[in-house]
A and B are shown apart, each in its own frame.
Chain A
Amino acid sequence: GDSVTQMEGPVTLSEEAFLTINCTYTATGYPSLFWYVQYPGEGLQLLLKATKADDKGSNKGFEATYRKETTSFHLEKGSVQVSDSAVYFCAPYNQGGKLIFGQGTELSVKP
């Protein structure tokens, strides 16, 4: 079945460091791909998305590129802030009509 593998956390970085969170997936066809974020005490919210191969989604300084050949959708940010501390979830939208979530990667940014 469809599945997602994310880089294990927790990831601890200093402010202004470069961030990469790896995500690879297995799915039928070419699903739309999403990154959701869960800030402490809050609900899941969409961070960015890409709907076809080579698309780049971006938001709040985060970026991710849909790589069909490697079935990956890695999340990057050039300079993280303390306020980026959260749990990040990679999620393809499968042909069955639903999001399939990875296990999440916790990011902690220290000042």
Chain B
Amino acid sequence: DTGVSQDPRHKITKRGQNVTFRCDPISEHNRLYWYRQTLGQGPEFLTYFQNEAQLEKSRLLSDRFSAERPKGSFSTLEIQRTEQGDSAMYLCASSLQGPNTEAFFGQGTRLTVV
């Protein structure tokens, strides 16, 4: 297993367009997380899954954002009607269940909304 992979690595889109990102976690990991990181800030939690169940979604997350993990393996994050404020690095991480386990992060998808 090569770790957590995210696709695409970079995405430039026009304001108002929809975008979708994909994350492939480490295969035996049942937890999958999405974070957003802007320049000079730490990662901000968006949502997470345990297997295929979405257990929590940040209250800060607009309803333009939706995430799925249909078979408990890969996940997609969709942003509808993108805005310039959505420009950020979107990070995916996966882990085994439990508070003492390491979360492994992907390289991220950098979104630029023009």
Contacts and interface: CB of A to CB of B under 8 A. Distances in A.
Interface of A: 4, 6, 31-32, 34, 36, 42-46, 49, 51, 89, 91, 93, 96-104
B88 interface: no
A29 B31 CA distance: 22
Interface residues of B, number: 25
Given A31-B99, A98-B33, A104-B40, A44 B91 contact: yes
Nearest to A46: B102
Given A98-B33, A98-B45, A101-B43, 11 more contacts: A32-B100, A34-B102, A43-B107, A43-B108, A91-B42, A93-B99, A96-B56, A97-B31, A97-B50, A99-B43, A99-B93
A49 B56 contact: no
Given A44-B105, A98-B48, A51 B99 contact: yes
A38 to B, nearest CB: 9
A32 B99 contact: yes
A91 B99 CA distance: 12
Contacts of B77: none
Contacts of A103: 40-42
A89 B48 contact: no
